[in-house]
């Protein structure tokens, strides 16, 4: 269980770093953001949905804060205060059969919360970079629609595999 705790702590720091990078990047590019921002793009990279600069900033900050707060609640010790009838996962009888298994199970749930937050923060960071790039703001790296889709596919696959490994440990 110490191994899970160590992994959770490292991923938690990485998650926090991605959130800070996202806010720093938004602060850094704020003066360069046009008054009307293209926010959705078709397959050829042409904007087909637009937002004003103030709505884009408000949406970006609000959505990131809301989603990260949600994952932070999942990753917090508060999750252990739930009644067992509200807990829905496979092999519930096994995991709730002894205090040691309950502690391990909640550590795994908290790790999943941290992994989810890290996944969200990293995808959001790269999505914002893509929006900045498509709106003519200089970015740290060039990313096309295909490379972003490949990044998203790899991120979802890694997150899904990690989630599977944490949810169904070897017996």
pLDDT of residue 64: 83
pLDDT of residue 7: 73
How many CB atoms neighbour CB 76 within 10 A? 12
pLDDT of residue 56: 86
How many CB atoms neighbour CB 150 within 10 A? 12
CA pair distance 98, 79, nearest whole angstrom: 17
**Helical residues (DSSP H) of 96-144, grouped into ranges:** 99-134
Q: Which of 139, 159, 138, 149 is nearest to 71 (CA)?
A: 159
Strands 47-52 and 36-41: antiparallel
Q: Return the residue matching tokens 């709730």.
A: 96
pLDDT of residue 160: 76
User: Which residues does 169 contact at the CB level (< 8 Å), separation at least 6?
Assistant: 108
> Dihedral sign, CA of 25, 151, 71, 64?
positive
CA pair distance 50, 38, nearest whole angstrom: 4
Q: Which of 75, 82, 70 is nearest to 4 (CA)?
A: 75
pLDDT of residue 42: 76
DSSP, collapsed to helix, strand or coil, labels residue 4 as helix
pLDDT of residue 146: 62
Residue stretches of the chain with pLDDT short of 70: 1-2, 4, 43, 45, 79, 84, 89, 140-148, 162-163, 165-171
> First vs last Cα of the chain: how many Å apart?
14
């Amino acid at each position: 269980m110490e191994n899970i705790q160590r992994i959770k702590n490292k991923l938690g720091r990485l998650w926090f770093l991605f959130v800070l990078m996202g806010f720093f990047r938004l602060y850094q590019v704020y003066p360069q953001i046009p008054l009307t921002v293209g926010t959705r793009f078709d397959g050829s990279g042409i904007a087909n949905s637009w937002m004003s600069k103030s709505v884009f900033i408000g949406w970006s900050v609000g959505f990131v804060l809301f989603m990260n707060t949600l994952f932070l609640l999942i990753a917090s010790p508060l999750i252990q205060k739930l009644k067992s009838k509200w807990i829905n996962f496979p092999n519930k009888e096994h995991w709730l059969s002894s205090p040691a298994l309950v502690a391990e199970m909640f550590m795994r749930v908290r790790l999943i919360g941290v992994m989810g937050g890290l996944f969200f923060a990293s995808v959001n960071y790269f999505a914002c970079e893509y929006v900045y790039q498509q709106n003519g703001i200089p970015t740290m790296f060039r990313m096309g629609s295909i490379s972003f889709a490949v990044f998203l596919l790899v991120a979802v696959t890694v997150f899904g595999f990690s989630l599977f490994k944490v949810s169904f440990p070897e017996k």
